[in-house]
Copies of this chain bind each other. A is one copy, B any other.
């Protein structure tokens, strides 16, 4: 890649980062190009679609979330690992308002630039879930895609300004549904594992 091309590419990525943080993923590509002191055509040549731009911007974060799942798998109890990771996932998406719907679309559109990252994320969650299920602390009738969907739904809630204040509370509620033992420390009631169906 030519030196000036790389410079422009980096400028665009930096501008996209700040613009998306400020205005969400639906920000005008022209705005990003203007911030980067670059023509719109240049932006679109480097990143042919909005998703391609987001993918380049978020790949690092995606990989970090996947790696974090690996850490938690060895450093925490099956239950804490799962809940902590899910909470981190939801919290992470709030950095990029509106990214949830793109992820939901990318999870099974193999042509999307975000596809592989989303699949990797789902797989990481599925491993943590399987570990919790094997330990008997997560209900057995759900799989990685279910967890992905629930996280996506909670992340979507956090994206809605009117519902965001409830997001943490609602996370606890959904988490208590995933787990067969009590999740929050303020509800100490004993409960035996569910033997569903």
Give the B-binding residues of A (Cβ under 8 A): 101, 104-105, 107-109, 139, 141-142, 145-146, 148-150, 152-154, 156-157, 160-163, 166, 169-170, 173-174, 176-178, 186-187, 189, 191, 194-197
Residues of B within 8 A of A189 (CB): 194-196
Residues of B within 8 A of A139 (CB): 173
Q: What is the CA–CA distance of A156 and B177 in the complex, to the nearest angstrom? A: 19
Q: What is the CA–CA distance of A93 and B107 in the complex, to the nearest angstrom? A: 23
Asked if A186 and B195 sit within 8 Å, CB to CB, the answer is: no
Asked if A104 and B152 sit within 8 Å, CB to CB, the answer is: no
Asked if B149 and A170 sit within 8 Å, CB to CB, the answer is: yes
Asked if B157 and A153 sit within 8 Å, CB to CB, the answer is: yes
Asked if A173 and B166 sit within 8 Å, CB to CB, the answer is: no
Asked if B194 and A166 sit within 8 Å, CB to CB, the answer is: no
Q: What is the CA–CA distance of A38 and B194 in the complex, to the nearest angstrom? A: 59
User: Given A187-B196, A187-B197, A197-B187, does the pair A146, B160 have CB atoms closer than 8 Å?
Assistant: no
Residues of B within 8 A of A154 (CB): 153
Smallest CB-CB separation from A194: which chain B residue? B189
Asked if A163 and B149 sit within 8 Å, CB to CB, the answer is: yes
Smallest CB-CB separation from A196: which chain B residue? B187
> A139, A141, A156, A169 — which one has the most chain B CB atoms within 10 A of its CB?
A156
Residues of B within 8 A of A170 (CB): 146, 149-150, 153
Residues of B within 8 A of A149 (CB): 157, 160, 163, 166, 170
Q: What is the CA–CA distance of A189 and B194 in the complex, to the nearest angstrom? A: 7
Residues of B within 8 A of A187 (CB): 194, 196-197
In the complex, 8 of the A-B residue pairs with CB atoms within 8 angstroms, ordered by the A residue number, are: A105-B162, A108-B162, A141-B169, A148-B163, A153-B154, A153-B156, A186-B196, A187-B197
